[in-house]
Amino acid sequence: MSEPRVRDQIEYEITTRFRKQIWTPFLSAVKNYGMALPGDKIAVCLSGGKDSLLLAKCMQVLKKYSKVPFEVIYLTMDPGYSPENREGVLKAAEALGITPEVFETDIFEIVAGVKSSPCHVCASMRRGHLYKQAKLRGCNKIALGHHRDDAAETILLSILYGGQFKAMLPKLKSENFEGMELIRPLYLVRERAVKAWLDSTGIQTITCACRVTRSEDGGKRARVKRLLAELEKEQPNIIDNIISSSENVNLATVLSYMSHQGAEPVSFMSNFETQTEKVDRLF
C-alpha cells in the first residue's frame, strides 16, 4: 500500500473504527471548551510519543473538514535527543503525513543536574520553549497531547504528593506569554484508546530519554498510574469519578480554599464563626 493510501487509512480509522473512543470525545472537547475558534493559529506540539502523534493527526483531520477558519502548524522540540531518537520522531510524523518544524534546546543537559523535582523543571522548560516558538510563528495557542488518564493522575499526584487539590484543566491562559493559551484536545480521550489506535497503525514511537523516566520505578506518576490500574479493576469508572470530583466541589465541606490563584486561603472557620453569630442572635 502506498504512503498516501496508508495515511488515508489512518484518517479513516480515527473517524470510523475509533469514532466512539477517539473522534467523538476529541470533537466534544474542541467544541465544549472552545479550543479551535475562528482566527486561531494553533501550534500542535509533536514529541514523537503516542499521545502527541494522535493529537497531531486529529488536528490535521479537523483542519481538513472543519468549517471554522483556523490555522494549524506542527512544532517539534529537540530537548537533546540522540540522532536515532530525533530521526524516530520525524519518521513517525512522516507516517501520518505531517512535517513538523523542529527547533533545538538543551533541556536534557540542564535537567541532568537537577536533583529536586526534575520532571517539574523539565515540563516547565518545555512549555516555555513551546510558547516562545509558537508565538514567534504568530500562534495564539499551543496544543498538548494530555488525555483523560493524565488528568486523573494529576489530581491524585497533587493530593498524595503535593498536599493540595489541583486539577489539570482542558485549557488555560499563559501567565508569562500574553495572549497565549494552552489547550488539551484529547482531554476526554482514554489512554487505552490512544494505545489501541497506535497499535492499529504500526507506527514506532519514542519514549522520553531522560534519566527520571529510566529510573527503577519510573517516578511518582508511574506509581499513580499503576495504582489507578489496580483500582479500575474493582471500579471501572474510577477515572471518570476522579475527574468528576473536580467538577463537583462543595466548598462547605472543605477545610479551606483559594478563590483564585495567589489569593489567601479562606478557612471553613470564617464561615463557621459567622453562622454561630447568626444563631446567637436568634436567642
The answer on 256 and 238 residing in a single domain is no
CB atoms within 10 A of CB 36: 23
The answer on 47 and 58 residing in a single domain is yes
* Residue 254 structural domain: 250-283
The answer on 272 and 135 residing in a single domain is no
The answer on 129 and 255 residing in a single domain is no
Total number of domains in the chain? 2
216-242 per-residue burial string, b: 16 or more CB within 10 A, e: under 16: eeeebbebbbeebeeeeeeeeebbeeb
Residue that is written with C-alpha cell 477545610 in the block: 255
Q: What is the pLDDT of residue 107?
A: 84
Q: What is the pLDDT of residue 111?
A: 78
Instruction: Write the single-letter amino acid at 130.
Output: L
The answer on 61 and 86 residing in a single domain is yes
The answer on 50 and 30 residing in a single domain is yes
CATH of residue 115's domain is 3.40.50.620
Q: What is the pLDDT of residue 271?
A: 74
The answer on 259 and 196 residing in a single domain is no
What are the respective helix, strand and coil percentages of the chain, to the nearest 5?
50, 10, 35
Q: What is the pLDDT of residue 206?
A: 77
DSSP state of 91: H
The answer on 243 and 269 residing in a single domain is no
The answer on 102 and 216 residing in a single domain is yes
Q: What is the pLDDT of residue 135?
A: 96
Distance CA 48, CA 86 (A): 9
C-alpha cell at position 266: 479562606
The answer on 242 and 110 residing in a single domain is yes
Per-residue pLDDT tens digits of the chain, which is 283 residues long: 557 667 889 999 999 999 999 999 999 999 999 999 999 999 999 998 999 999 999 999 999 999 999 999 999 998 888 889 999 999 999 999 999 999 998 888 787 777 766 777 788 888 899 999 999 999 999 999 999 999 999 999 999 999 999 999 999 999 999 999 999 999 999 999 999 999 999 998 876 555 555 554 458 889 999 999 999 999 999 999 999 999 999 988 889 988 877 788 888 888 776 665 554 555 5
Q: What is the pLDDT of residue 186?
A: 98
pTM of the model: 0.89
The answer on 281 and 191 residing in a single domain is no
Q: What is the pLDDT of residue 210?
A: 57
Q: What is the pLDDT of residue 209?
A: 55
First vs last C-alpha separation in the chain:
85
Residue that is written with C-alpha cell 498510574 in the block: 225
Q: What is the pLDDT of residue 65?
A: 95
Edge-first strand listing for the sheet containing 71-78 = 101-104, 71-78, 41-45, 141-143, 181-183, 171-173
The answer on 245 and 269 residing in a single domain is no
Tell me the β-bridge partners of 76. 102
Instruction: Write the single-letter amino acid at 171.
Output: K
